[in-house]
């Protein structure tokens, strides 16, 4: 199916209050800054955010949190360099945190995309992050039951798209993008370059178009790390 190509603001228009939104990125690499800033402008609130971290500085996810649009963060590591927007609200009891080991987080997202409601993992067995969770001994080893993690929307930064929605990514900015596109009911992807169908060799497609719903064209995407280093603040 040919995918619609819009601006970031048009692309995030359907995000509703109370939605669960996955946001790609590992630190600043792969963070869809333009989509997140468009979401701040759009105004949806009461969001549950799934990301590896909880924002850095005063831009992107950190700014979304600072603007009090986020009720809960599901992440593996909220303690990045300058995570004050999250930290202040968390210590005030104004934002909830679900801490998930990083591989378990990735696999819960992948499982949702593949329609698998649960899986057993060795990760966290015997630790406090497995407290209250079902465990099972399989082949003499203790495993923890983890359930899928679904989302209403995913905001993802890719590099190139074709009009069929096939995506490629850039270097380690790939990280959570492909699995978040799979796990969300509606995936919204920002890309630097859009070509006609056939412009991406099928052999190198990373995310096939079946997982992509809306494409925003951002010809010159900014890198979150560059904004952070420049001391930028949004809005």
- In angstroms, rounded to a whole number, what is the distance separating the alpha carbons of residues 68 and 16? 15
Q: Pattern 197-226, binding to another protein, x per CB under 8 A?
A: ---------x----------------xxxx
# binding residues, another protein (CB under 8 A) = 53
Residue 134 vs residues 118, 124, 126, 129, 130: alpha-carbon distances, Å: 11, 12, 12, 12, 8
- In angstroms, rounded to a whole number, what is the distance separating the alpha carbons of residues 61 and 200? 30
Could you tell me which stretch among 59-67, 92-100, 195-203, 208-216 binds another protein (CB under 8 A)? 92-100
User: For the residues of 16-30, what is the DSSP string, one character each?
Assistant: -TT-EEEE--BTTBT
Residues 166-185 that bind another protein (CB under 8 A): 169-179
By beta-carbon proximity to another protein, the closer residue of 71 and 90 is 90
With CA atoms as reference, report the closest residue to 23 among 62, 50, 57. 50
- One of 121, 135, 147, 186 touching another protein (CB under 8 A): 121
Would you count residue 120 as binding another protein (CB under 8 A)? no
Cβ count near 11 (within 10 Å): 29
The contact set with another protein (CB under 8 A) reads: 26-30, 52, 76-81, 83, 86-87, 90-91, 97, 99-104, 106-107, 109-110, 121-129, 169-179, 206, 223-226
């Amino acid at each position: 199916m040919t995918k619609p190509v819009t601006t970031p603001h048009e692309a995030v228009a359907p995000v509703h209050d109370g939605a669960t939104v996955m946001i790609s990125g590992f630190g600043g690499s792969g963070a869809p800054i333009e989509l997140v800033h468009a979401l701040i402008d759009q105004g949806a609130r009461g969001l549950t955010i799934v990301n590896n971290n909880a924002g850095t500085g005063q831009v992107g996810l950190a700014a979304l949190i600072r603007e009090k649009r986020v009720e809960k963060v599901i992440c593996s590591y909220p303690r990045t360099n300058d995570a004050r927007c999250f930290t202040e609200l968390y210590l005030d009891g104004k934002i909830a945190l679900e801490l998930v080991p990083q591989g378990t987080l990735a696999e819960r997202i992948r499982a949702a995309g593949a329609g698998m409601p649960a899986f057993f993992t060795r990760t966290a067995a015997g630790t406090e992050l497995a407290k209250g969770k079902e465990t099972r001994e399989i082949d003499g080893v203790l495993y923890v039951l983890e359930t899928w993690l679904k989302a209403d929307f995913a905001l993802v930064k890719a590099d190139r798209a074709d009009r069929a929605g096939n995506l490629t990514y850039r270097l380690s900015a790939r990280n959570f993008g492909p699995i978040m596109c799979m796990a969300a009911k509606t995936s919204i992807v920002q890309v630097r370059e859009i070509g006609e169908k056939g412009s991406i060799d099928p052999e190198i497609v990373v995310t096939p178009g079946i997982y992509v719903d809306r494409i925003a064209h951002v010809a010159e995407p900014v890198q979150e790390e560059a904004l952070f280093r420049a001391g930028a603040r949004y809005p």
